[in-house]
């Protein structure tokens, strides 16, 4: 993984001339004044943890698994949001952990939490490092004004928890350690003819534990469900003991505590083990494109599929702007057409029947079939967007994504509110949107924003993000459909949950993490003093 | 509702001679020594709440909505488990509330919780009164030894919260007050061509709020999902403020707190309002029967439907004993056949395609089609079982149900363990079982037990229930798939969640209900003293 960007540097790509022209002529993008720094030039704070504490951590995991090198610290600094990348490109490593600690088992995680609680060492659980919401930037917010500080902060990297433990082929449940990366999970399952079917944008690097902790949802969610739908059981190490949840697919044995740990983003405990629903690997795959006249017409069509069925495995509808830019075909960016492009993908044992039925609905709702090419182009480029972002950052454009979800009747209001907020807070931005996660009662809206960098690009985006967050809360949407909360959505999430909801999160955190060491500042607002 | 049994007394039915013969000859059932008492002979404790406190409650809801009559108190005593009915038939009203209070709005509920917290009045939220797990018997357990007592206990009856507030036909979301009974909800929705599709055994009396509070699952769960799947949003009054949850079908804005309130059984707060996913009412309905040679073969067939699809709307597989007795056709009890009866029901706009596909799977898995008659007989009798229970109790048989769920590979172990526990703790009981809620990774097992009453029938059943609970925990199942926890499953649920899980429930309860007034003793074990 590129330390200051995404993925394998060998896969970095030049922007097509058409795109560079558009950036220059329509958005006023100009080359940045200073190029990105080299890794060795990133400025890090000195290691705050004293030797005896580093020794105590090494006593748990072995000295070879406590890293304090410049490179290890840089590579565990923050996540992969655009502000995260901009800061790293500028050489700002101020949020680096003091050390990277790699436990080799659930028991070592549990013991680390005990030591860190006793010694007041903040712990940032680290899976693939792909958070785009400040989920790995917990510390600053944790040291509340006047509150007790921390002796230091470690990144708790789960990379060594990398095993497929067992597969129950009758129940179609696979037990994984939480540090397994998604491609490796698919490789291990493919040997048995199985798949998770979870393919988010972060697929190449994210871990199963991270998917669970942040409630990930993948590009094929219409067919395979969200990641939280796949979690049948999970084991969580907390400073107050281990939770081992999930004896049946569903239960009425009280509240579903799995659903309390899913989305807990490392603030309640560290997920170490997952029991996941798997599916038979598809025999057949068909991807195709459809065109609708307007986003409203296309939205009505995807709503019909969600409410009447049948659902394709992948369903993505771009609005007019995203279609024009060609964002659904990242390998052919700039080659878009008019109207709104819909991508429908079908995977399964045999897809003909479902494809015919869904096609009949799309035709009835005004869709024009475009054949296989747009679908296959989307599939080829499905993980390209983060690479494209690096190319855009390099030429002086800020590009970032944000997302929300709501009930169908509220989506037009949400769509307008977010676009208005971004237009009002950025210099003539390009704002694109697609629907790619649908439910019977509603859907998500996923926005991609491109704008020319002006002055301090981090501060510039922070203002736009604040405006978008406020617009989402005000328009009644949820602050995130699948990116998670982290620090960037914490206050908006609190507004969404209300004071009683926030106090529930605080109570659970106080019970499971009484020393407050776990990802401080992320997800859970610190309790008001003397409240 | 019959105060000492189920439903409309006019619908009570005589047992067929074949059944009476079987009870006598095979189970040794003899007429009970004493008949059931009359309502006016039920022994109630004196009203403990002093006049000023009754006046304070009347100040919130109006004097007409605070009831202390003998009949009102009897009708709000406990729920509808067999031990509950046996106690009432014996005239034991010792768990009666002091008063029945009927608030007319969310705000009145919130104000009642404030008053009751301040005055230490225990509150048992009451919907349809159909709990079969001691969910309405909270008080005895709440007055922990040495702990502070309560000034009294009220049943908080939600019957006046009986309105359909709005329907969002685009999003297919209906907003209901929580006290609406299921048949009334269906009637209100039918006028708009909509349905919830939630038909549990308790359908005739249970309320929407009760379904949510206890994580109900209905007979058509294969097609319409569990009730918790239908809850898009909910409003909960708690002593620490109101929770208003659900801005989108699904979200990554932290843990899903809806899933923390679903199944909270009135111990965290009182659900006052629900936003529920609804469906277009079915145009076509087809119910039919299939026969399998063995329960194992039938289970493999329903597993194939759950994992490969397509799922019928209703899917129920009786084991050999339940098939022989004919329990899936309550109107023709005693007329069963050999092998294992499977009921498949299809509802929708047009069911032919799905029915043909599912039929092909059932045939391939060894099923023999029996045509429409068994399916239609099941549908006619689908709400008859509780009436049948009253008839059995009257002739001296104890009949009760219990249920669990697990992953497919563990179901045979669970099935054997529960049967062994019941056989070992009751005099030659008749134990029947069916699978009626299926998932890709597992299913529920629903047991019906009939045995001759010996000595104290309540104590007799308590021993059998304790043995079954222990067997379920030991065999790795969940203590309940859809009956809920109440008092009867509280300790087994605690064993299932483990100490860290229990401490989370306690922390949430302590935060939302600091005075501990809400359904004390139900769901959440009291904290260990000085622990």
Domain ranges of chain B: 165-279, 284-380, 391-474
* Inter-chain residue contact B243 with A171, CB threshold 8 Å: no
Establish whether B496 is an annotated binding residue: no
- Among candidates B344, B351, B401, B354, which has minimal Cα distance to B378? B344
Pairing of strands B430-435, B368-371: unpaired
B212 min Cα distance to partner chain A (Å): 10
A511: distance to nearest CA of chain B, Å? 6
Tens of pLDDT, residue by residue over B253-265, are: 999 999 999 999 9
Are A48 and A152 in contact by the 8 Å Cβ rule? The answer is: yes
B353: chain A residues, CB-CB within 8 Å: 353
Compare CB distances from B442 to A228, A249, A484 and report the shortest one's residue.
Answer: A249
* Option in A214, A251, A506 nearest B480 (CB): A251
Q: How far is B247 from chain A (nearest CA, A)?
A: 5
Please determine, for residue A110, whether its predicted confidence score (pLDDT) is greater than 90.
Answer: yes
- Residue A139, phi then psi, degrees to nearest 5: -70, -45
- Give B33: exposed, middle or buried? Use CB within 10 Å, 0-12, 13-18, 19+: exposed
pLDDT computed for residue A145 by the predictor: 44
Residue A245 main-chain phi, psi, to 5 deg: -120, 145
Cβ of A232 and B172 within 8 Å?
A: no
Regions in chain B scoring below 70 on pLDDT: 138, 140-148, 330-331, 333-334, 529-531
Domain B165-279 fold: 3.30.465
Residues of chain B by 3-state class (helix, strand, coil), percent to 5: 40, 20, 40
Are the CB atoms for B135 and B484 separated by under 8 Å? yes
Give A-chain residues touching B303 at CB under 8 angstroms: 170
Can you tell me the distance from the alpha carbon of B344 to that of B372, in angstroms, rounded to the nearest whole number?
A: 10
Residue A243 near residue B498 (C-beta atoms within 8 A): yes
Report the CATH architecture of A284-380. Answer: 2-Layer Sandwich (3.30)
Q: pLDDT tier at A531 (50, 70, 90 boundaries)?
A: very low
CA distance to partner chain B, nearest, from residue A339 (Å)? 23
Is B46 assigned to a binding site?
A: no
Helix (H, G, I), strand (E, B) or coil at A234: strand
Residues of chain B in contact with residue A170, where contact means CB-CB under 8 angstroms, are 303, 408-409
Confidence of residue A141 (pLDDT cuts 50, 70, 90): very low
| Residue B378 to residue B373: CA distance in whole angstroms | 9
- A353-A356-A362-A365 Cα dihedral, nearest 10 degrees: -100
The pLDDT tens digits for A438-485 are: 999 999 999 999 999 988 999 999 999 999 999 999 999 999 999 999
Known binder of ligand: residue B100? no
- pLDDT tens figures, B391-418: 999 899 999 999 999 999 999 999 999 9
pLDDT band at A436 (very low <50, low <70, confident <90, very high): very high
Q: A243, B498: Cβ pair inside 8 Å?
A: yes
Distance CA B461, CA B454 (A): 10
The residues, ordered by sequence, that sit 6+ positions from B475 with a Cβ below 8 Å of its Cβ are: B406, B410, B413, B414, B417, B418
Give bridge partners of residue B98 from the DSSP assignment: none
Helix (H, G, I), strand (E, B) or coil at A198: coil
Of A443, A444, A508, the CB nearest to B504: A508
Interface test with B, best of A198, A216, A237, A254 (most B CBs within 10 A): A254
Mean pLDDT of the region A159-170? 98
* Pairing label, strands B442-452, B430-435: antiparallel
**Residue B267 labeled ligand binder:** yes
Residues of A whose CB is below 8 A from B250:
217, 226, 228, 405, 437, 439, 481
Q: Do A172 and B256 touch (CB under 8 A)?
A: no
The number of residues making up chain B comes to 531
Mutate to test the interface with A, among B221, B251, B311, B401 (most CBs of A within 10 A): B251
Say if residue A398's pLDDT is above 80. yes
Q: Are A407 and B232 in contact (CB < 8 Å)?
A: yes
Query: d(Cα B79, Cα A472) in Å, to the nearest integer?
Result: 44
The DSSP letter of residue B95 is T
Provide the pLDDT confidence category of residue A530 given band limits of 50, 70 and 90: very low
Q: Which residues of A make up each annotated binding site for substrate?
A: 389
Residue in this structure with the two tokens 């329907």, named with its chain if needed = B167
Please report the pLDDT score of residue B145 as a whole number. Answer: 44
CB contacts, 8 Å: A299 with chain B:
none
- Hunting for tokens 């009294």 — which residue is that? B152
B339 is in an annotated binding site: no
Reported as a single tens digit per residue, the pLDDT across A253-309 is: 999 999 999 999 999 999 999 999 999 999 999 999 999 999 999 999 999 999 999
Tell me whether residues B170 and A476 touch, CB distance under 8 A: no
Q: Which residues of chain B are within 8 Å of residue A444 when distances are taken between CB atoms?
A: 248
Whether the pLDDT of residue A146 is over 60: the answer is no
Min Cα distance B101 → chain A (Å) is 25
Residue list for the binding site of A for FAD: 125-131, 265-271
User: How many beta-carbon contacts under 8 Å exist across A and B?
Assistant: 277
Residues A88, A4: contact at Cβ < 8 Å? yes
CA closest to A237 among chain B residues = B500
H or E stretch covering B499: helix B490-512
Please tell me the predicted confidence (pLDDT) of residue A142: 44
Asked about A346 being catalytic, the answer comes back as no
As a whole number of angstroms, the distance between CA B84 and CA B99 comes to 19
Top-level class of domain B391-474: alpha beta
Beta strands per DSSP E along B319-475: 340-348, 368-371, 397-407, 430-435, 442-452
Distance from CA of A502 to the nearest CA of B (A): 10
Q: How far away is chain A from the Cα of B172, in angstroms, using its nearest Cα?
A: 6
Per-residue pLDDT reduced to its tens digit, A317-370: 999 999 998 877 766 766 778 899 999 999 998 899 999 999 999 999 999 999
Inter-chain residue contact B504 with A257, CB threshold 8 Å:
yes
C-beta of residue A84 within 8 angstroms of C-beta of residue A42: no
B chain contacts of residue A511, beta-carbon cutoff 8 Å: 503-504, 506-507
Mark yes or no for CB contact A409/B168 under 8 Å.
yes
Taking an 8 Å cut-off on Cβ atoms, the answer to whether A252 and B493 are in contact is: no
Give the catalytic positions of B in this structure.
Answer: 446
User: What's the pLDDT band for A143 if we cut at 50, 70, 90?
Assistant: very low
Q: Is B266 annotated as a binding residue?
A: yes
Confidence of residue A138 (pLDDT cuts 50, 70, 90): low
Query: CATH class for domain A19-157?
Result: alpha beta
Q: How many CB atoms within 10 Å of residue B454?
A: 14
Torsion of CA B223, B228, B232, B238, to 10 degrees: 160
Flag if A405 and B242 touch (Cβ within 8 Å).
no
| Reported confidence tier of residue A34, pLDDT bands at 50, 70, 90 | confident
CB nearest to A477's CB, from B248, B477, B506: B248
Nearest to B241 among A238, A277, A500 (CB): A500
Dihedral pair phi/psi, residue A159, rounded to 5°: -60, -30
B179 annotated binding-site participant: no
- ipTM of the predicted structure? 0.96
Closest Cα in chain B to A490:
B253
Q: Which of A196, A181, A265 is nearest to A226 (CA)?
A: A196
- CB distance A80 to A6 below 8 Å: yes
């Amino acid at each position: 993984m590129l330390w200051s960007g995404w993925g394998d540097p060998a896969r970095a790509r030049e922007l097509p001339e058409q795109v560079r022209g558009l950036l220059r002529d329509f958005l006023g993008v100009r080359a940045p004044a200073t190029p990105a720094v080299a890794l060795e030039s990133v400025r890090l704070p000195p290691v705050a943890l004293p030797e005896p504490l580093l020794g105590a951590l090494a006593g748990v995991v072995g000295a070879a698994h406590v890293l304090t090198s410049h490179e290890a610290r840089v590579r565990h600094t923050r996540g992969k949001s655009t502000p995260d990348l901009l800061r790293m490109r500028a050489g700002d490593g101020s949020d680096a952990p003091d050390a990277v600690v790699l436990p080799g088992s659930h028991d070592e995680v549990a013991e680390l939490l005990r030591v860190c609680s006793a010694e007041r060492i903040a712990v940032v659980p680290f899976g693939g490092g792909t958070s785009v919401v400040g989920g790995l930037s917990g510390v600053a917010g944790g040291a509340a004004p006047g509150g007790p500080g921390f002796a230091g902060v470690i990144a708790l990297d789960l990379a060594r928890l990398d095993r497929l433990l067992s597969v129950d082929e009758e129940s179609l449940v696979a037990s994984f350690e939480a540090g397994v990366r998604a491609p490796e999970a698919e490789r291990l399952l493919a040997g048995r003819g199985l798949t998770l079917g979870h393919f988010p944008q972060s697929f190449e690097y994210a871990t199963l534990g991270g998917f669970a902790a942040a409630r990930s949802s993948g590009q094929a969610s219409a067919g395979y469900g969200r990641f939280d739908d796949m979690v049948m059981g999970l084991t969580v190490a907390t400073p107050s003991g281990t939770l081992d949840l999930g004896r049946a697919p569903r239960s009425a044995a009280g509240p579903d505590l799995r659903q309390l740990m899913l989305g807990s983003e490392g603030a309640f405990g560290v997920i170490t083990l997952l029991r996941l629903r798997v599916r038979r690997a598809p025999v057949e795959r068909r991807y195709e494109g459809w065109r609708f006249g307007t986003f409203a017409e296309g939205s009505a069509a995807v709503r019909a599929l969600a409410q009447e069925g049948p659902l394709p495995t992948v369903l993505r509808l771009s609005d007019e702007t995203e279609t024009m830019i060609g964002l659904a075909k990242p390998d052919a960016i700039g080659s878009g057409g008019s109207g709104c492009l819909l991508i429908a993908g079908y995977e399964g044992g045999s897809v003909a029947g479902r494809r015919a039925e869904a096609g009949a609905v799309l035709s009835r709702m005004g869709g024009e079939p475009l054949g296989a090419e747009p679908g296959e182009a989307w599939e080829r480029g499905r993980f390209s967007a983060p690479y494209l972002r690096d190319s855009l950052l390099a030429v002086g454009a800020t590009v970032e994504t944000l997302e929300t979800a709501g009930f169908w009747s509220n989506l037009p209001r949400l769509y307008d509110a977010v676009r208005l907020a971004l237009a009002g807070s950025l210099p003539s931005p390009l704002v694109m949107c697609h629907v790619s996660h649908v439910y019977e009662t509603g859907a998500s809206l996923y926005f991609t924003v491109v704008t020319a960098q002006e002055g301090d690009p981090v501060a510039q985006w922070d203002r736009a993000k604040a405006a978008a967050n406020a617009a989402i809360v005000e328009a009644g949407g949820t602050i995130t459909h699948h990116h998670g909360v982290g620090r960037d959505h914490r206050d908006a999430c609190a507004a969404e949950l209300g004071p009683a909801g926030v106090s529930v999160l605080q109570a659970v955190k106080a019970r499971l993490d009484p020393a407050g060491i776990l990802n401080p500042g992320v997800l859970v607002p610190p309790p008001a003093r003397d409240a």
